[in-house]
Amino acid sequence: GAVVSQHPSRVICKSGTSVKIECRSLDFQATTMFWYRQFPKKSLMLMATSNEGSKATYEQGVEKDKFLINHASLTLSTLTVTSAHPEDSSFYICSATRSAKNIQYFGAGTRLSVL
């Protein structure tokens, strides 16, 4: 299957700092990437849909100014959590797909802990 690399796998930061998470499709061109987050004992929830070369579409309740998504190339999307706060601590995971209707391949996720 296709390989999606997500980095870093874990990050611990102080409140108020910004954190960037990268999602790379290693062996295919990903026109669409999705970002999800998972709070403890909760479902994975879609945060935003990112199409290469255009602005991301955010789900209701997700602040676009806080969670900056850039999908500048067909193999890389980044999620930046700006001015992180303890309530942003969560498991963030990306997926990539050749086209929006195709199967999604998931990265290994990033565990963010904000102190």
Partner 1 sequence: KQEVTQIPAALSVPEGENLVLNCSFTDSAIYNLQWFRQDPGKGLTSLLLIQSSQREQTSGRLNASLDKSSGRSTLYIAASQPGDSATYLCAVKGGGGADGLTFGKGTHLIIQP
Query: Residue 43, interface with partner 1 (CB under 8 A)?
Result: yes
Which tokens sit at 84?
């992180």
42 binds partner 1 (CB under 8 A): yes
When asked if residue 104 is in the footprint of partner 1 (CB under 8 A), the reply is: yes
Beta strands at 44-51 and 32-38: parallel, antiparallel or unpaired: antiparallel
Within 13-32, the residues that bind partner 1 by CB under 8 A are 32
The single residue among 20, 22, 46, 68 that binds partner 1, judged by CB under 8 A, is: 46
Q: Show the CA angle centred on residue 98, arms to residues 82 and 111, nearest 5°.
A: 35
Q: With H, G, I as helix, E, B as strand and everything else as coil, classify residue 98.
A: coil
Which CA distances in Å does 41 have to 38, 45, 84?
A: 8, 12, 21
Residue type (1 letter), 61: G
Residue 75: name the closest of 36, 10, 25 by CA. Answer: 25
**Residue 106 CB, nearest approach to partner 1 (Å):** 4
Out of 79, 109, 112, 114, which residue is the one contacting partner 1 (CB under 8 A)? Answer: 109
Q: Which stretch binds partner 1 (CB under 8 A): 13-21, 40-48, 68-76, 81-89?
A: 40-48
* 54 contacts partner 1 (rule: CB under 8 A): no
Positions touching partner 1 (CB under 8 A) are 1, 6, 32, 34, 36, 41-46, 49, 59, 93, 95, 100-101, 103-109, 111
